[in-house]
Structure 1
């Protein structure tokens, strides 16, 4: 009978919540009272043992001076210590011991003392198994054997081993050891089974929610559009046992799957849907008795907010014909699904913000390159206006064409190499107009590399750096060589000149930060280097070296995707082309 009571207690939600929470404060008091009452129940279900007879009754009566009980009160006391800790065990033992002392009999004083002591000892022993949420049944059986043995020993101590007490202890000792130890073991097994059942159900629902969330998230990445909502509703209708599914944004019903179709305006007017949006919590609606149904004989609904950080982006409505269909398992799924969607949308929003910030930073770097080049070219035009107006006019026209092409090219973070070469040739046309025959620029591209991807305006600033700084002291005989060739699975790009080289004190900082002094800010080189690393990785960073015969070599490597990232353009006019200016 006691085990039936135990089984019922473990399936009462209130009792399970009390058992599941930490044994502190009021919850500790409730646990002590609970296990104390279990101990009292074990006392009342005992058997009265007298000098000449054994009496069994459904409820034990106060005992005479020559009587003792064979009972299972220790089950509640020891369980209190094993499941709640030393203080809970001592509290449950005190409640049970006071009741046992009130019952009277030969062992009344010893029971009033031994019950709290045994509860305290059980709690102290349980500390050795603190890593287990619920102690294992075999261990509890082992502990349960010693508790009644110690209790009967204390009975003999308190009664000074009188002949009557020895006789009675011999009568009740073995039955109490067996019933108490087995009862403790079985009750612990019941508690473990109850919690494992709950954990298994929760784990299955979380796994189910995770699987369905994986199906839904790809549709929600672009926001709460009608197309995304329809795809989401189709997945949920297929995977869930709901009678209908609706998906909304914050203003209107976007998609619905199921019998009939709700009035969109009426749906958003539903107070439970608005409450789910306002509080970001699951809301449950169930029509009872003669209350009007929702629509098409649907009488219950669960409104699940779909949101990341901040306010929910919409609501998922699961409709049922009856409130009986909304079981705890459905609510567990809705809760897990809502949390998963919220966390994943928050992560996606953070990734989008990070990408937007990175793109904005790259755009800012790109925007800084054009004014840098524009400033140098306009200076040349100002100089040519006085001495060669026709050449200045041609240079202005070429600059306008160059800037127009740059506006379209920089809309992408990566472009194919042949477009970068076209851009470089447009720049070289301007250089040719500025320097006549004083400078020769050679561009050599190995065949088959036309579609290797790189950031726009990568080669042009490197060539411009050679023109403006490396060759600034050369009045004639200057040359620049741009070469791209395949080296294994990489493409090596290099820009060489026969200029003055890089000062040793600047080489370590060049490309890593804008440089002041030496007539240069180093802004173009810095931006090129940062964009290469941001878009292609640290391995693509610029490398600087001075040539043995004088001059500078700036190089970097690109991944040879062998056509893996092809642009939409079909112009192959620079395949294997060598140009010179």
Structure 2
């Protein structure tokens, strides 16, 4: 019995060497990692079935006299002999790893092959192999291979399967005396060696899975790190500047020797090797790129001829070209070039494909952002255009009356109207204007209103001079003054003189714009709605205040604030807060 241990250990060593060599193959690692796919399960049946057959062939013959045979490769066994082998190891590991289908398949292959070799235990060993495959296959559905306890569970399961095999031999292999003698000789060596072999085999499998997981994690980290650094550039769309900056980031974070980014017509950026003839803003120079643009599929080249560069002595000899798509339409390409084809391995290819998909998503988001911005600009301009129609008709009526009584004053009012509506037209084309321009609009408006209602109101301004060049949305203050004059001071109260105070001051990183009046105030039920929606009341609809609130919300989001404070008989104060350092300011004065 003891002399059987080193012989079986030698056989286990052969299988483990084969397992280790297989684990170095990418195809095997992919099969192990994706064994839920039917084709991969079939491959696992073939692999572990082969292991079981090798175990049968390399088993140690136990002759009827109890002596061990000397033949290294067992192709046939006499009727009074049996073999001690590691067949159960391949069956158990295959079943635990691949589930019922793999376990059953490997068990059938191992059992039938063992049956063909002969010997008085042929039937018993064949049946035990099939049974072990079925049982371990169903156990494998619940076993988590990567758990720490999986190793010892596998060893225990393997030992149990060996013990069951010994029981089947005793029950079915005639004569019983020979079967008992065989079991006494092989039980301990086979249990020990198969248990030890399964432990080592599972360590190899776990190492494969862990290595694959680490590689995936590193690839994911690398892709997301590159995507994070290139996001600000791809959000600008495909243009020479954004592509040049993005290409530089990709080059520094990958093993590529050069990076190119193109649109559908020309090279937008090329950084790294080959920059002497892969020149930005020139037409596409490689047929490989044009083919990717036309087919929308990833293509790889591992030679200079496959790249088909127009420069015969180009140093770049391998490339992977990825389509950049927006809404399933190929709008450009990302190209990773290598001087040595060997550097374009599976890892680099998977990283590149991940980047291509992420960049396509970023470009789609950039286009959606541009469309949203265009829609928002159109909405803002539509809101601005709603503010002044009624004022235009009132001003014309005033000028018409003055043409008879005071032509000179009528001429001056026409000039003010010209200035006012010129600013209105310019404001419809610009998101921001300097504060002093907005104050000019207010003064032009007041000149017209004072001609209509002389002595009805006064205006006091408290403006921080350092804020006069700060950008504000056009027609932000003028509607507030207009609202005060129309609603705060009723025309039927002739003996009261209204007062409007405009204040502009700094509050940290914000500019505060405030319009106060000493008028009749606003009823509480109206105050809750003003600025939030248009309303229906005898005194007005609140359209101007709603438009202002809506405009600054669309332009500045949560950074802007619009508040109305009022009490009946105590006047009204409207305060607007805007961020001074908002990006729109920088865009305006860059």
**TM-score of the aligned structures, taking structure 1 as reference length:** 0.84
1:353 to 1:58, Cα distance in 2 relative to 1, 3 A? farther
Question: In 1, distance between residues paired with 2:511 and 2:307?
Answer: 74
1:495 matched residue in structure 2: 515
Question: In 2, distance between residues paired with 1:245 and 1:24?
Answer: 35
- The alpha carbon displacement at 1:482 in A equals 2.6
- The alpha carbon displacement at 1:486 in A equals 6.2
Deviates more, 1:68-77 or 1:376-385: 376-385
1:533-555 per-position Cα deviation (integer Å, ceiling 9, x unaligned): 33344474433344253543433
Q: Is the 8 A contact 1:497 1:553 kept in 2?
A: yes
Question: In 1, distance between residues paired with 2:209 and 2:426?
Answer: 64
1:511 matched residue in structure 2: 531
1:7 matched residue in structure 2: 20
Does 2:503 match 1:484? yes
2:300 matched residue in structure 1: 284
Does 2:29 match 1:21? no
**TM-score of the aligned structures, taking structure 2 as reference length:** 0.82
Does 2:49 match 1:36? yes
2:332 matched residue in structure 1: 314
1:544 matched residue in structure 2: 564
Q: Is the 8 A contact 2:488 2:519 kept in 1?
A: yes
Deviates more, 1:196-205 or 1:268-277: 196-205
1:458-497 per-position Cα deviation (integer Å, ceiling 9, x unaligned): 2211221122233343353241423437697566544333
2:319 matched residue in structure 1: 302
Question: In 2, distance between residues paired with 1:226 and 1:388?
Answer: 61
Does 2:479 match 1:461? yes
Structure 2 unpaired stretches of 5+? 1-13
Aligned residues: 568
Give the secondary structure class of the aligned counterpart of 1:54.
coil
1:164 matched residue in structure 2: 178
Question: In 1, distance between residues paired with 2:394 and 2:144?
Answer: 75
Q: 2:62 aligns with which of 49, 53, 69?
A: 49
1:394-437 per-position Cα deviation (integer Å, ceiling 9, x unaligned): 32221111122344456543455444333322322222222111
1:148-191 per-position Cα deviation (integer Å, ceiling 9, x unaligned): 12322332233499232122112111221122222222222222
Q: Is the 8 A contact 1:532 1:540 kept in 2?
A: yes
Deviates more, 1:366-375 or 1:381-390: 381-390
Q: 1:395 aligns with which of 410, 413, 426?
A: 413
2:273 matched residue in structure 1: 258
Q: Is the 8 A contact 2:261 2:267 kept in 1?
A: yes
After TM superposition, list the pairs within 5 Å mapping 1:443-458 onto structure 2: 443-445=461-463, 450=468, 454-458=472-476
Structure 1 unpaired stretches of 5+? 570-581
Question: In 1, distance between residues paired with 2:15 and 2:460?
Answer: 97
1:536 to 1:297, Cα distance in 2 relative to 1, 3 A? closer
Q: 2:453 aligns with which of 435, 438, 444?
A: 435
- The alpha carbon displacement at 1:123 in A equals 3.0
1:149 matched residue in structure 2: 163
Q: Is the 8 A contact 2:42 2:102 kept in 1?
A: yes
1:338 matched residue in structure 2: 356
Q: Is the 8 A contact 2:504 2:514 kept in 1?
A: no
Q: Is the 8 A contact 2:49 2:90 kept in 1?
A: yes
Question: In 2, distance between residues paired with 1:291 and 1:498?
Answer: 78
1:524 matched residue in structure 2: 544
Give the secondary structure class of the aligned counterpart of 1:307.
strand
Give the secondary structure class of the aligned counterpart of 2:321.
strand
1:134 to 1:115, Cα distance in 2 relative to 1, 3 A? farther
Q: Is the 8 A contact 1:452 1:559 kept in 2?
A: no
1:116 matched residue in structure 2: 130
1:157 to 1:415, Cα distance in 2 relative to 1, 3 A? farther
**Runs of 4+ with >6 A deviation:** 263-267, 288-293, 485-488, 564-569
Give the secondary structure class of the aligned counterpart of 1:106.
coil
1:92 matched residue in structure 2: 106
1:198 to 1:538, Cα distance in 2 relative to 1, 3 A? closer
2:76 matched residue in structure 1: 62
2:11 matched residue in structure 1: none
Give the secondary structure class of the aligned counterpart of 1:8.
helix
